[in-house]
């Protein structure tokens, strides 16, 4: 039996989250924005190519402000940094946070070549990003709807807009080529 002296904050939290999301909701992305989104995803793809050059899984990310200024970039660095948290998104978040001298990054948009995982989703929600745009879906660990849908949880105290499928084919192709080459190399050794 529930303790009657404890305040039930479930309804309050849900109402607060809904009100906060409505107050901070961004307007619909205009059609002209898609050209900008494509250009930013190409920058993220360039970061993914840099990951290949150092032997990392090719995932790249770019963080931009509302005027399109790049404030942080990153690519997977988990192997070379011996750091399981050094995913492209986290690397870009850290760079932008240092650039702005703030761990909160409201109004910024992150572009990443692969659907974010749960860890990265948590970091992006804590950073208070306005938008997250991704390329290829991740059927194994994707947390924007493929496996989990973290952004759809209404109890979270911050809501971020998510948009997938931007340059999905080239983003997915880069990953497929990388893993195909890696498997060939493993077979030969």
- Choosing from 35, 89, 115, 186, which is the catalytic residue? 89
**Does the annotation mark 56 as catalytic?**
no
Q: How far is CA 125 from CA 3, 17, 43, 48, 184, in A?
A: 32, 13, 22, 23, 38
**Does residue 118 contact residue 140 with C-beta atoms inside 8 Å?**
no
Tokens encoding 140: 């194994």
Which uninterrupted H or E stretch holds 174?
Answer: helix 168-188
SS3 71: strand
CB atoms within 10 A of CB 153: 12
Q: Which residues have a catalytic role annotated?
A: 89
């Amino acid at each position: 039996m529930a303790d009657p002296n404890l305040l039930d904050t479930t309804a309050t939290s849900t109402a607060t989250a809904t009100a906060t999301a409505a107050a901070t909701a961004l307007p619909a992305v205009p059609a002209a924005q898609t050209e900008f989104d494509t250009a930013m995803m190409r920058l993220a793809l360039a970061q993914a190519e840099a990951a290949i050059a150092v032997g990392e899984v090719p995932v790249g990310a770019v963080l931009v402000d509302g005027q399109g200024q790049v404030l942080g970039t990153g690519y997977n660095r988990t192997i070379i940094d011996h750091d399981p948290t050094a995913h492209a998104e986290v690397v870009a978040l850290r760079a932008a946070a240092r650039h702005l001298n703030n761990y909160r990054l409201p109004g910024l948009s992150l572009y990443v070549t692969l659907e974010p995982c749960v860890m990265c989703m948590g970091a992006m929600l804590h950073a208070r990003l306005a938008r997250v745009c991704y390329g290829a879906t991740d059927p194994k660990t994707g947390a924007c709807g493929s496996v989990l849908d973290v952004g759809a949880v209404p109890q979270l105290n911050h809501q971020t807009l998510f948009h997938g499928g931007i340059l999905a084919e080239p983003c997915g192709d880069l990953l497929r080529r990388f893993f195909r080459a890696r498997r060939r190399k493993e077979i030969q050794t």
